């Protein structure tokens, strides 16, 4: 079953990552508080670095603000005077500029070199101009009154806070490759002339013979040479049913022998295994995923050019009017207030609140771009097994031969299966109990590997099993029964026959992967929002079509191999569609990484969660709707905040430049700074309104 894939730690301690990761050159990438991002404005920066710089800068900002004459004047108090008190803002302000401002100065330089101005360059420009102007004032050069020390301190502190909030919301680095490596056991039992020896998986070589015990994972790809077992291959194929593998059959690293021991001749190890191939697909898909630029960066680029042009024009205009000191004052004021605190907090606050709201609804957002992209998605592609369906078999139909009561037939089958732990057996017993049937006493239970089970009921031997058991017992279905079971088989159901000790077929039952009741609501609600729904599965076409018809799904991809799931996402993207992929198995990982938004469903494997930008903590596909609604709401909030933050600038910058000076209206540095603070408060309050959004999956419409 699909959900068995999460038990990969049963094979021992920490997996031998070297087996898979070292040949690819992927070192351990487990996320921690010091995760380093390799691209964008946070290149080389960690969450912890922004956090530490913020707290120290905040502590240093308090005395800078308190001893600032401008703040004292605005708030109407007089800071105490003592020898050296006037040097507190310049000295501490310089420390703040060099220490707290360092990430922005470096980032601004990086953006300047790449000729891609953004938030970092806008902040760097504002704090550098404020620093230079403030020192000019503190040293009494030119008689300027441009004391921006408090403004510099608060600007750096607020920007560090914004980036810290943003970095936390971005989530941790991808650990998908480690999680794939974790599907391999630490050790293998190699068969030798004298018995078996336990060796590290990395010591295995092609042609080695290994013993794989019940419940153990395959350490390498190989061919069964002795024994027969039901293999759980769901993490590779996505197929929910276990598959019988016997001598001559191929088995794959990472799959589980569920019920019996087998001896396997190794054919491929390490880098050459199917699992390693999937790992390479994940790496390639992650590398090719879109690097869309954040909204705030686009707004910051616009503001940078706007401020630079406004600054130059201000200086030229006031110089031509014959007032160099006024030209400097106005230009400095323009360049300092061009970097709004509000813009630094507008997006991070929305992201942080969105992330928190989503988590309460059981949606864990790991990548902020996934949240932003979700509103643009045209099609949601669901993996079938374990996502739209439960991944567990469910009794669908009962057909009894002439003269046999269907309830008695089900009770008899359940009695025979009652000692079995197989998922199919559990489904039959569960169905009998739900119908409140009294089960006859059964004894002498035995499992017939790959064929079925038998037990003694009321003194007669009764068999329950599939087509292989019919052939073995030379039993023949009555024509009326055969007509029923043919229809079941055509739609991909598993068919089990109940056969008495005389070889007479008493009847049959069908079992199918159960569709989650929530799936119907999820599909309908997505379609109501103008989003198409697709389904992708490794299952047979008739199985997939039956589920798709039941759920009214728009597009179906069936019999898809692991490598091709990735290609199917690319195929949809090639048609100009933006894709959100929802899956839970290792075989879904490349597709999750390739899609615009990868959503892992919570009962899935670690690797699926690592490849996804979003993880649904539960198994409810309706949670995808929460993601769509939140994405659209948070995008509206981001735009509202950006319009407010940049709109304030577009109005304040010309006033600071003195365009209305002829009418006696001039925005002083102090007034500009106060307006900036008001703008920040408005943005923060607006972001809080997101908390009113209801994201309960059970209330989806």
Which positions are catalytic? Answer: 383
What SS3 class is residue 358?
A: helix
The Cα–Cα gap between 668 and 671 comes to: 5
The Cα–Cα gap between 684 and 47 comes to: 21
587 and 562 in contact (C-beta within 8 Å)? yes
Task: Choose among 312, 219, 283, 314: nearest CA to 257.
Answer: 219
DSSP designation for 98: I
Residue spans of beta strands (DSSP E) within 148-246: 187-192, 195-200, 209-212, 221-226, 229-232, 243-245
What SS3 class is residue 273?
A: coil
Burial class for 419, CB neighbours closer than 10 Å (0-12, 13-18, 19+): middle
The Cα–Cα gap between 254 and 65 comes to: 61
Residue 454 C-alpha from the chain's centroid: 45
CA angle, 506 then 480 then 490, to 5°: 100
Per-position DSSP letters for 48-92, written without gaps between them: HHHHHHHHHHHHHHHHHHHT-HHHHHHHT------TTGGGHHHHH
Task: Choose among 122, 127, 118: nearest CA to 100.
Answer: 127
Tokens of residue 204, six digits: 């295995």
Tokens of residue 568, six digits: 């199917």
Per-position DSSP letters for 426-456, written without gaps between them: HHHHHHHHHTTPPPPPEEEEEEETTTEEEEE
681 and 346 in contact (C-beta within 8 Å)? no
Task: Choose among 53, 46, 37: nearest CA to 96.
Answer: 53
The Cα–Cα gap between 113 and 111 comes to: 5
Task: Choose among 584, 569, 578: nearest CA to 615.
Answer: 584
For tokens 């605005």, name the residue: 74
Q: Name the β-bridge partners of 511.
A: 395, 494
Long-range contacts of 431-434 (CB under 8 A, 24+ apart): 431/394, 431/395
Task: Choose among 426, 382, 312, 361: nearest CA to 548.
Answer: 382
CA angle, 153 then 157 then 161, to 5°: 170
The Cα–Cα gap between 430 and 497 comes to: 17
């Amino acid at each position: 079953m699909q959900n068995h894939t999460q038990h990969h730690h049963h094979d021992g301690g920490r997996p031998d990552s070297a087996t898979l990761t070292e040949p690819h050159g992927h070192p351990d990438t487990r996320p921690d508080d010091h995760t380093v991002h390799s691209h964008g404005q946070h290149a080389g920066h960690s969450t912890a670095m922004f956090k530490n710089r913020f707290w120290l800068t905040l502590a240093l900002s308090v005395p800078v603000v308190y001893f600032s004459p401008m703040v004292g004047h605005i708030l109407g108090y007089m800071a105490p005077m003592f020898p050296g008190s006037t040097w507190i803002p310049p000295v501490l302000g310089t420390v703040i500029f060099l220490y707290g401002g360092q990430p922005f100065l470096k980032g601004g330089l990086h953006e300047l070199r790449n000729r891609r101005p953004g938030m970092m360059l806008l902040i760097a420009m504002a704090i550098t101009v404020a620093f230079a102007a403030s020192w000019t004032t503190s040293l009494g050069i030119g008689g300027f009154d441009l004391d921006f020390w408090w403004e510099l301190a608060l600007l750096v502190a607020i920007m560090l806070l914004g980036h810290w909030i943003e970095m936390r919301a971005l989530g941790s680095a991808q650990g998908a490759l480690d999680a794939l490596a974790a599907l391999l056991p630490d050790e293998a039992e190699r068969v030798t002339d004298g018995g078996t020896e336990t060796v590290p998986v990395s010591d295995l070589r092609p042609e080695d013979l290994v013993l794989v015990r019940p419940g153990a994972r395959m350490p390498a790809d190989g061919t069964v040479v002795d024994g027969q077992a039901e293999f759980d291959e769901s993490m590779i194929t996505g197929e929910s049913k276990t598959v019988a593998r016997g001598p001559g059959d191929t088995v794959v690293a990472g799959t589980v022998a569920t019920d019996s021991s087998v001896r396997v001749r190794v054919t491929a190890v390490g880098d050459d295994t199917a699992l390693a191939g999937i790992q390479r697909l994940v790496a390639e898909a992650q590398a090719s995923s879109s690097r869309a630029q954040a909204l705030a960066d686009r707004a910051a680029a616009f503001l940078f050019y706007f401020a630079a042009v406004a600054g130059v024009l201000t200086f030229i205009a006031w110089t031509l009017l014959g007032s160099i000191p006024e030209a400097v004052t106005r230009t400095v004021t323009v360049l300092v207030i061009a970097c709004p605190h509000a813009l630094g907090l507008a997006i991070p606050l929305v992201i942080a609140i969105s992330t928190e709201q989503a988590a309460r609804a059981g949606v864990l957002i790991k990548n902020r771009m996934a949240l932003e992209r979700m509103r643009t998605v045209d099609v949601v592609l669901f993996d079938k097994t374990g996502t739209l369906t439960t991944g567990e078999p469910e009794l669908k139909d009962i057909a009894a031969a002439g003269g046999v009561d269907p309830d008695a037939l089900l009770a008899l089958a359940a009695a025979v299966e009652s000692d079995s732990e197989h998922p199919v057996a559990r489904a039959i017993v569960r169905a009998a109990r739900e119908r409140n049937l009294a089960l006859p006493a059964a004894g002498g239970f035995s499992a017939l590997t790959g064929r079925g089970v038998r037990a003694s009921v009321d003194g007669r031997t009764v068999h329950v099993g599939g087509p292989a058991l019919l052939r073995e017992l030379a039993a023949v279905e009555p024509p009326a029964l055969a007509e029923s079971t043919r229809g079941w088989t055509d739609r991909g159901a598993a068919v089990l026959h109940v056969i008495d000790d005389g070889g007479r077929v008493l009847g049959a039952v069908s079992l199918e992967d159960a569709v989650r009741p929530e799936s119907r609501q999820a599909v309908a609600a997505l379609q109501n929002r103008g989003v198409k729904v697709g389904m992708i599965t490794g299952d047979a076409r008739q199985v997939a079509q039956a589920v798709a018809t039941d759920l009214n799904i728009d597009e179906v991809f069936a019999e898809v191999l692991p490598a091709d799931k990735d290609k199917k996402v690319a195929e949809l993207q090639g048609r100009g569609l933006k894709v959100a992929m929802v899956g839970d198995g290792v075989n879904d990982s490349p597709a999750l990484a390739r899609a615009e938004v990868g959503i892992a469903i919570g009962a899935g494997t670690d690797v699926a969660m690592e490849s996804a930008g979003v993880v649904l903590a539960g198994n409810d596909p309706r949670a995808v709707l929460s993601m769509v609604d939140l994405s659209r709401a948070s995008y509206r909030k981001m735009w509202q905040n950006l319009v407010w933050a940049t709109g304030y600038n577009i109005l304040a910058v010309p006033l600071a430049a003195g365009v209305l000076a002829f009418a006696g209206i001039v925005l002083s540095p102090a007034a500009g700074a106060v307006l900036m603070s008001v703008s920040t408060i408005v943005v923060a309050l607006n972001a809080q309104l997101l908390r009113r959004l209801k994201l309960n999956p059970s209330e989806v419409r």
